[in-house]
């Protein structure tokens, strides 16, 4: 088999066999195929796409390029949630404790933020002492003890993805829904889970701006996971404005604690309950989504989810006192406010701009190599539909350095649109894909 | 400027600026852009194509990656012919002496054969002693002395093409008409010529099987050359059967001598006269193609073209005696014949199969690294339209080794189709592109 022939086949829109895809991925992992051939292949995939069979073969080949975790000794289902990324998207920190508190296992391997979107690892690391870089044996110990564990990518998991992602990043081949599916699903399947709930974001603050693109990606991921024998469902959710009110790493942890305390913004709480409910349903804890929502609500109301959050922080070396005293989280030295230019009603919040503003303040990464400042970010004082008076504060900015403040403030001013009438309320969950008769 | 942004732009079908294309080509030539980014860009070009402005910028950037020869001191126009390659396509060896004998200069830089097609350099090297690897100062001396010189690629000419071609070859990006145009036209323009006649082959034995593809390529090359201030015309010519009767390196040289002696097959002679006529017209020697044909015919009839052929062989170190005694050319030890299975009329000769048969005998290259046997090949005893008797010889095979003879003989048997009626005669020149009011 020669790589050039397989590139030609894909270029000419023919279907590659499972063996051919395995040849390419194994050759990638073990450096038997040069980068330039892989790069040409990736661009051909961006062009031609993949059939469902090719995509399942790609995902399995990537999955088996490394270790697949085995939790078969654990006495309950292993479930996880994955989000395609957004602004203020902090549900993992709430959901993992809720679901674990109710008896399922959540072996969650997450990523870092890039560009306008945040990442779970950065949020967790704003908790003083929290260690996301556990070895697999430590990961196992935490998971066995408190039924959830929250870590970053390890070298053992899907090394083919690491190699491919690095190439995609420099060859403008990141955006292919097929390559995204292979990347996400191979890593998630390597967690050794039984079921996966996908939160596929759409709207201005998401990677998939158009709902049809989000639905296409969701369908690919659901079908790929299902072909691999897992229970998978995808929720297409709204990212036209930031989720919750807080954007920025420590600020988002603070908001998660609010939710676990039974408080916090309704949209964030609602989505956390919804995602948890689906995890319960797929994991076999409940018989309906409604029952799942109820169970998730109980985990919050009883304080059991908050206890589990404390426990996982403790087991991963973090300062548990932040749960009862969020003032112990890093906090920026200065605040500034964005004044409403007129009275009326917030009709839109340009979500990507809000994300970029947070990044400019130091809360996110422009390039992968950048470090983040855990303390900075912003608090939306008004969200879509809220009435405002002229001069009222729309958004509180938490910052340390002046250097890019002006730029960030300008973006935030531009983000808020104020009109005369509140727009009709948009549902947070726009569509559910892959539920079949379960819903 | 970042290569990844330019790849993305091409991927999204946007037009690159001249500066952006220069950045890519200069980065390629000087190894500032890694191969994997160039490979992804090449596949994006295969996908999206290029605008005429992009293509001219690409060709100029490739041209200026190396030296452009300067013949301004020479007292007549410099013209060349380029063929996209076929089977039995040996016109260069006839045309260069014809055109030089009439007073124009032909600084011809040619290539080697690959796959089913032959190459001018391989044919020339079947002349004992003939040296195609001249340095540029030797090339200049030969050209000044006999007005034509026939050499191979030098490191000074379009080094970007060398790099790009090596990558295209292993990334299944050879076939793009845009990349073909950039490659051919940059090398031809580097010859420092005033005018170029393109022989774009179409049909079973050509790279462009479909006439519309050949016409598209021809239009791209003509427009690119014209944008660069050169006179360029393209003849779309038939390659549904081998040109002439002989295929194989020494055999083809022998057939060229036949033409220069005023003999040889009519199709080959006709195409040589036609291409020479256009070179005369573009070079300003004549006022019409008809006049050009006449002039070319005179160069043959007077023996002056043959004298020039002798002269260029001598100047490039070859054995001039082959012109008067072609028996001095390398000759295979054995011959075999392909018998007609029935009586009738030859209705088709599958040209690519004939080319592959010659390659299998050792006359061509399967891979670039292969060497060729100058003596082997085949002589078509019958061509399309010829009547045949059952058992009559269709084709004489000249071979040295038995190893792949059976395979080659089977291909040749399959190549000939015999029917009851002769097909209508097909014109050799199907279309002329870029002639404008000249024709």
DSSP B114: B
| Residues B307/B311/B317/B319 CA torsion (nearest 10 deg) | 20
From chain A, the residues in CB contact with B36 under 8 A are 35-36, 38-39, 167, 170-171
Of A363-372, B36-45, B176-185, B302-311, minimum mean pLDDT range: A363-372
Is B173 close to A40, i.e. CB distance below 8 A?
yes
Higher per-residue confidence, A99 vs A155: A99
From chain B, the residues in CB contact with A38 under 8 A are 36
List the one residue out of A235, A202, A207, A205 whose CA is nearest residue A219.
A235
From chain A, the residues in CB contact with B8 under 8 A are 172
From chain B, the residues in CB contact with A39 under 8 A are 35-37, 39-40, 43, 171
DSSP A362: I
- Long-range pairs of A175-180 with CB within 8 A, sequence gap ≥ 24: A175/A46, A175/A207, A176/A42, A176/A45, A176/A46, A176/A49, A177/A49, A177/A213, A177/A216, A177/A217, A177/A220, A178/A45, A178/A49, A178/A50, A178/A54, A178/A55, A178/A58, A178/A220, A179/A42, A179/A45, A179/A46, A180/A84, A180/A217
At B369 the pLDDT is 83
Q: State the average pLDDT over residues B223-233.
A: 95
Question: DSSP of A36-84, one letter per residue?
Answer: HHHHHHHHHHHHH---HHHHHHHHHHHHTTS-----TTSSS-BEEEEE-
By Cβ distance, the residue of A11, A39, A169 closest to B39 is A39
By Cβ distance, the residue of A11, A42, A172 closest to B172 is A11
Q: State the average pLDDT over residues A101-108.
A: 98
Residue of B nearest to A10 (CA): B172
List the one residue out of A298, A87, A319, A292 whose CA is nearest residue A207.
A87
Provide residues of A within 8 Å CB-CB of chain B. Answer: 3-5, 7-8, 11, 34-40, 42-44, 46-47, 167, 169-173
The reply to whether A187 belongs to the active site is yes
By Cβ distance, the residue of A3, A35, A44 closest to B35 is A35
The CATH architecture of the domain made up of B79-325+429-433 is 3-Layer(aba) Sandwich (3.40)
Shortest distance between the Cα of A337 and any Cα of chain B, in A, equals 35
Catalytic one of A187, A201, A293, A353: A187
Q: Which of B172, B175, B368 to mutate to test the interface with A (most CBs of A within 10 A)?
A: B172
List the one residue out of B355, B339, B334, B330 whose CA is nearest residue B395.
B339
Position B439 confidence tier, pLDDT thresholds 50, 70, 90? low
Shortest distance between the Cα of A169 and any Cα of chain B, in A, equals 8
What count of Cα atoms within 13 Å lies in the side-chain half-sphere of residue B75? 3
Query: A367 exposed, middle or buried (CB, 10 Å; 0-12, 13-18, 19+)?
Result: exposed
From chain A, the residues in CB contact with B179 under 8 A are none
The reply to whether A168 belongs to the active site is yes
Strand-pair category, A416-419 with A344-349: antiparallel
Is A47 close to B43, i.e. CB distance below 8 A?
yes
By Cβ distance, the residue of A5, A11, A171 closest to B7 is A171
Q: What is the CB neighbour count within 10 angstroms for residue B301?
A: 10
DSSP A436: T
From chain A, the residues in CB contact with B43 under 8 A are 7, 11, 39-40, 43-44, 47
DSSP A174: S
Is A43 close to B44, i.e. CB distance below 8 A?
yes
The pLDDT of residue B275 is above 60? yes
At B437 the pLDDT is 59
Q: What residues does each domain of chain A span?
A: 3-49, 79-325+429-433, 331-419
Tell me the helices (H) and strands (E) count for chain B, helix number first. Answer: 17, 13
From chain B, the residues in CB contact with A7 under 8 A are 43, 171-172
Answer whether B364's CB lies under 8 Å from B96's CB: no
**Cα A343 from Cα A281, distance rounded (Å):** 45
Is B40 close to A171, i.e. CB distance below 8 A?
yes
Is A170 close to B4, i.e. CB distance below 8 A?
yes
The edge-to-edge listing of strands for the beta sheet with B429-433 is: B79-83, B195-202, B231-238, B429-433
Residue of A nearest to B11 (CA): A172
Residue of A nearest to B43 (CA): A40
From chain B, the residues in CB contact with A167 under 8 A are 36
Residue of A nearest to B167 (CA): A36
The edge-to-edge listing of strands for the beta sheet with B416-419 is: B387-388, B344-349, B416-419
Answer whether B172's CB lies under 8 Å from A48's CB: no
List the one residue out of B342, B349, B422 whose CA is nearest residue B389.
B342
CATH topology assigned to domain A331-419: Aldehyde Oxidoreductase; domain 3 (3.90.1170)
Residues sharing a CB contact under 8 Å with residue A320, sequence separation 6 or more, in sequence order: A310, A313, A314
What's the length of chain A? 439
List C-alpha distances in Å: B86 to B99, B126, B166, B409, B431. Answer: 22, 18, 21, 20, 17
Answer whether B103's CB lies under 8 Å from B147's CB: yes
List the one residue out of B207, B186, B200 whose CA is nearest residue B82.
B200
- Residues forming a β-bridge with B80: B196
Residue of B nearest to A45 (CA): B43
List C-alpha distances in Å: B289 to B148, B233, B273, B283, B295. Answer: 21, 12, 10, 12, 10
Q: What is the CATH number of domain B3-49?
A: 1.20.970.10
List the one residue out of A174, B13, B157, B9 whose CA is nearest residue B24.
B9
Position B116 confidence tier, pLDDT thresholds 50, 70, 90? confident
At A438 the pLDDT is 65
Is A40 close to B40, i.e. CB distance below 8 A?
yes
At A5 the pLDDT is 95
List the one residue out of A60, A98, A99, A65 whose CA is nearest residue A79.
A99
End-to-end CA distance of chain A: 45
Q: At what angle do helices B136-146 and B304-315 cross, to 10 degrees?
A: 150
Is A4 close to B171, i.e. CB distance below 8 A?
yes
Residues B320-377 pLDDT 10s: 999 999 999 999 999 999 999 999 999 999 999 999 999 999 999 888 888 999 999 9
Catalytic amino acids of B? 82, 161, 168, 183, 187
- Long-range pairs of A293-298 with CB within 8 A, sequence gap ≥ 24: A295/A102, A296/A98, A296/A99, A296/A102, A296/A272, A297/A273
Degrees to nearest 5, angle at CA A230 with A228 and A235: 115
**Cα B28 from Cα B1, distance rounded (Å):** 14
By Cβ distance, the residue of B37, B46, B172 closest to A171 is B37
The reply to whether A112 belongs to the active site is no
Shortest distance between the Cα of A99 and any Cα of chain B, in A, equals 41
From chain A, the residues in CB contact with B166 under 8 A are none
Answer whether B201's CB lies under 8 Å from B86's CB: yes
The reply to whether A161 belongs to the active site is yes
Residue-wise burial string across B311-324, b where 16 or more C-beta atoms lie within 10 A, e elsewhere: bbbbbbebebebbe
Strand-pair category, B79-83 with B195-202: parallel
Answer whether A44's CB lies under 8 Å from A11's CB: yes
Provide residues of B within 8 Å CB-CB of chain A. Answer: 3-5, 7-8, 11, 34-40, 42-44, 46-47, 167, 169-173
**Cα B160 from Cα B167, distance rounded (Å):** 11
Token digits of residue B278: 């256009």
Q: State the average pLDDT over residues B192-209.
A: 95
At A128 the pLDDT is 97
Answer whether A100's CB lies under 8 Å from A260's CB: no
Is A7 close to B42, i.e. CB distance below 8 A?
no
Q: State the average pLDDT over residues A90-118.
A: 94
By Cβ distance, the residue of A7, A167, A173 closest to B172 is A7
Instruction: Find how far residue A250's CA is from the centre of its chain.
Output: 17
DSSP B117: B
The pLDDT of residue A439 is above 80? no
Catalytic one of A10, A168, A231, A382: A168
What is the interface pTM, i.e. ipTM, of the complex? Answer: 0.88
Q: What is the percent of chain B where pLDDT is above 70?
A: 99
**Cα A372 from Cα A361, distance rounded (Å):** 9
Is A8 close to B38, i.e. CB distance below 8 A?
no
Phi-psi region of B314 (alpha: psi -120 to 50; beta: other; left: phi over 0): alpha
At A361 the pLDDT is 95
Quick one: CA dihedral A230, A288, A81, A105, positive or negative?
negative
Q: State the average pLDDT over residues A395-414.
A: 95
DSSP B176: -
**Cα B227 from Cα B273, distance rounded (Å):** 27
Residues B46-66 pLDDT 10s: 999 999 999 999 999 999 999
Residues sharing a CB contact under 8 Å with residue A142, sequence separation 6 or more, in sequence order: A134, A148, A149, A312, A315, A316
Question: DSSP of B40-78, one letter per residue?
Answer: HHHHHHHHH---HHHHHHHHHHHHTTS-----TTSSS-B
From chain A, the residues in CB contact with B5 under 8 A are 172
- Residues forming a β-bridge with B417: B348
Is A8 close to B35, i.e. CB distance below 8 A?
no
From chain A, the residues in CB contact with B170 under 8 A are 3-4, 34, 36-37
Is B170 close to A3, i.e. CB distance below 8 A?
yes
Token digits of residue A78: 């292993």
Shortest distance between the Cα of B6 and any Cα of chain A, in A, equals 9
Residues B377-402 pLDDT 10s: 999 999 999 999 999 999 999 999 98
List C-alpha distances in Å: A10 to A50, A60, A376, B50, B175. Answer: 9, 19, 46, 21, 14
């Amino acid at each position: 088999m020669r790589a050039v022939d397989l590139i030609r086949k894909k270029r000419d829109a023919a279907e590659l066999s499972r063996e051919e895809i395995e040849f390419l991925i194994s050759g990638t992992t073990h450096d038997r195929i040069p980068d330039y051939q892989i790069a040409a292949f990736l661009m051909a995939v961006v062009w031609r796409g993949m059939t469902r069979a090719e995509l399942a073969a790609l995902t399995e080949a990537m999955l088996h390029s490394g270790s697949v975790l085995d939790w078969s000794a654990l006495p309950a289902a292993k479930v996880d949630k994955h989000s395609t990324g957004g602004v203020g998207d902090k549900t993992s920190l709430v959901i993992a404790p809720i679901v674990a508190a109710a008896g399922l296992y959540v072996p969650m391997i997450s990523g870092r933020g890039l560009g306008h979107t945040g990442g779970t690892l950065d949020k967790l690391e704003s908790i003083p002492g929290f260690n996301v870089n556990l070895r697999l044996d430590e990961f196992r110990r935490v998971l066995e003890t408190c039924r959830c564990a929250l870590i970053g990518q390890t070298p053992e998991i899907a090394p083919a993805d690491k190699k491919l992602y690095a190439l995609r990043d420099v060859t403008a081949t990141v955006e292919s829904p097929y390559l995204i599916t292979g990347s996400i699903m191979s890593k998630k399947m390597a967690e050794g889970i039984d079921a996966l709930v996908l939160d596929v974001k759409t709207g201005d603050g998401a990677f998939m701006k158009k709902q049809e693109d989000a639905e296409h990606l969701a369908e690919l991921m659901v079908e790929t996971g299902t072909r691999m024998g897992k229970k998978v469902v995808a929720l297409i959710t709204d990212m036209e404005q930031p989720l919750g009110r807080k954007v920025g790493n420590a600020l988002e942890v603070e908001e998660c604690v609010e939710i676990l305390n039974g408080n916090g913004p309704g949209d964030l709480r609602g989505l956390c309950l919804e995602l948890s409910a689906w995890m319960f349903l797929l994991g076999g804890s409940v018989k309906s989504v409604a029952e799942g929502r109820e169970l998730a609500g109980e985990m919050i109301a009883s304080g059991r989810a908050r206890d589990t959050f404390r426990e996982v922080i403790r087991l991963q070396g973090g300062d548990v006192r932040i749960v009862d005293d969020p003032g112990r989280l890093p906090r920026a030295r200065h605040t500034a406010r964005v004044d409403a230019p007129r009275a009326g009603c917030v009709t839109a919040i340009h979500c990507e701009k809000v994300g970029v503003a947070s990044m400019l303040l130091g809360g996110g990464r422009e390039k992968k190599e950048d470090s983040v400042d855990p303390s900075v970010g912003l608090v939306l004082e008004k969200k879509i539909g809220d009435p405002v008076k002229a001069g009222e504060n729309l958004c509180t900015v938490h910052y340390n350095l002046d250097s890019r403040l002006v730029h960030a403030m300008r973006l935030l001013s531009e983000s808020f649109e104020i009109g005369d009438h509140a727009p009709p309320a948009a549902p947070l969950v726009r569509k559910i894909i892959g539920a079949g008769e379960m819903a």
